[in-house]
Structure 1
Amino acid sequence: MRQNIHPEYQKVVFMDINSGFKFLSGSTKKSNEVIEWEDGNSYPLIKVEVSSDTHPFYTGVQKFADKGGRVDRFLQKYNMKDNK
């Protein structure tokens, strides 16, 4: 096998931004953010929009339907109204 051509495989924490659900897994993804895990060690943090905790296929329901889309959140954040 050729040396120095493969990305570094490491433990990372994935966090679902909609529910806050976190899990530890292995990945080659890099992140500038770090989080302390339950075992006391610090791991890179990767934020994801959908995980098994919020995906309707796994849950049977859509947990974050009331959160709104990007446009709705933008309009609410800057106290603007929709011009439809």
Structure 2
Amino acid sequence: MLVLTRKPNESIVIGNDIEITILAIEGEQIKIGITAPKNVDIHRKEVYLSIQEENNEATKTETNLLENLNAFFKKKS
């Protein structure tokens, strides 16, 4: 992990097209601004993990559905 110290209005650049700017520091909260191309998804970590969990559940449901359909059609034959 890279650890950097930044003050308000200072930035960090990731790659060629992502910039993270420290907007304000208020107590234990830091406000950041992120400039990135529109094709780059940006989420808070807890939201990202929730999306990943939902996607995993959706793929499991789909597999079960296909297995059930397969079993149904095998019974009909």
Query: Shared fold (TM-score greater than 0.5)?
Result: no
Relative contact order (alpha carbons < 8 A, sep ≥ 6): 1 or 2 greater?
A: 1
Which bracket does the TM-score occupy, shorter chain normalised? under 0.3
Higher helix proportion = 2
| TM-score normalised to structure 1 length | 0.25
| TM-score normalised to structure 2 length | 0.25
